[in-house]
Amino acid sequence: MLYFKTAGESHGKCLIAIIEGFPAGVFIDEEFINKELKRRQGGLGRGGRMQIEEDRVEILSGVRKNITLGSPICLMVKNSDYTINELHAVTKPRPGHADLPGIIKYGQEDARNILERASARETATRVAVGAVVKILLSRFGIDVFGYVKGIGGINSDKIIKDMDIAKKNREISQVYCIDQDIERDIIEKIKQTAEKGDSLGGVIEVIAHGLPVGLGNHTQWDLKLDARLAHAVMSVQAIKGVELGLGFLVSNKFGSEVHDEIFYNQSSQDKSLTGGFQRYTNNAGGIEGGISNGEPIVVRAYMKPIPTLIKPLRSVNLLTKEPITASYERSDVCAVPAASVVCESMVAFEIGRALLEKFGGDSIDEVKRNYDGYISTIRR
């Protein structure tokens, strides 16, 4: 089974990810991984740390002459700001961060022993993993695209009609959004928030095209693709809500307004990933009964504002128990653009996992054979 673990602290020597279960024979373009890492570092609202770091991947194992071996792939991203042993103790826990529950749980007096690992710096390795999995997905015509739908309550209701235009718009946007009508307001809001010493959250949407019908499983709670995507995305630091398709709005509507009616188009049968069945709406977000239905997967993630504030909230000194204000560590004002890259990576990973579960093999050729056999069967 495809799986990954990460290791590393924010100001430790480096960050590591180990991917297991990745098939042999896939060409890995290191520069593509580095481009994704760079994208995660960007976006308006980032703090001083991103001027110090220049994230680049080093592939330590599992790849020979750019081709995967089927053995564990170890990815490393070095920290330029390797200062963990010199950094001061943190005794003023920040509301909303892992500081307080972490020190109580682990029996610590210094919240740095918790925050170093809780930090969203860890997501650099998740993006490197996501990039490797995206390379695999591209061999099956699957494309995963994440963008910022809104920041600080300024939200876009733009519906994507042309993916190429959406991609171009995201590329030129300072905040990774696709809607130029709201971009200026968002930029202004981030600048004002920085001046006020506050922070901002937002909404991210990830869309995956090209999945065949049949990934994920209705037979067991932990095999359902929607549940797995929710887990993967909710695990990203600061994400507090995840929805698919029409999402939370389904609870306000009649069944007849929610469910996507089924049609059949024989002429598309030999090209389709659904055996010729068609929908004209996608309120389900591409998943029914925990199984992909061949429509695009649409996941939205809701991110809270970062808990580290220049004008800190009230807290309690861990040692004296006296009221104080929380500590301020150099931080970001808004990391929603960066988080959109992380959510995109996590969605890609989970889809890759479901793909290999269904068509698994030790080599890419074997996976491809299984995939092709299945597609030709559903088309028949």
| Residues that bind ligand EPS in the complex, under the rule CB under 6 A | 10, 47, 49, 81, 115, 119-121, 124, 308, 329-332, 338
Query: Do 340 and 303 contact (CB within 8 A), yes or no?
Result: no
Tell the smallest beta-carbon distance from residue 97 to ligand EPS (Å).
7
Question: Angle at Cα 220 formed by Cα 216 and Cα 223, nearest 5°?
Answer: 30
Find the shortest distance in angstroms from Cβ 322 to ligand EPS.
24
Shortest approach of ligand EPS to residue 109 CB, angstroms?
19
15/182 with CB nearer ligand EPS: 15
Of 45 and 245, nearer to ligand EPS (C-beta) is 45
> In whole angstroms, what is the distance from residue 270 CA to residue 352 CA?
24
Report the residue number, 14 or 258, with the smaller CB distance to ligand EPS. 14
The amino acid at 207: I
124 burial via Cβ count (<10 Å: 0-12, 13-18, 19+): buried
For the CB of residue 44, give the shortest distance to ligand EPS in the complex, in Å.
14
Nearer residue to ligand EPS within complex by CB, 24 or 111: 111
* Segments of 8-141 assigned E as strands: 14-20, 57-61, 63-64, 67-68, 73-78
Q: Which two tokens stand for residue 340?
A: 């959109």
What is the spatial distance between Cα 180 and Cα 351, in angstroms, rounded to a whole number?
A: 30
DSSP SS3 for 12: coil
Q: What is the dihedral of CA 114, 118, 124, 127, to 10 degrees?
A: 150
**Min. distance of Cβ 341 from ligand EPS in angstroms?**
10
Considering the complex, state which of residue 92 and residue 121 has its C-beta at the smaller distance from ligand EPS. 121
Q: How far is the CB of 298 from ligand EPS (least distance, A)?
A: 26
Q: Would you say 113 or 119 has its CB closer to ligand EPS? A: 119
Residues with Cβ within 8 Å of residue 27, at least 6 apart in sequence: 66, 67, 135
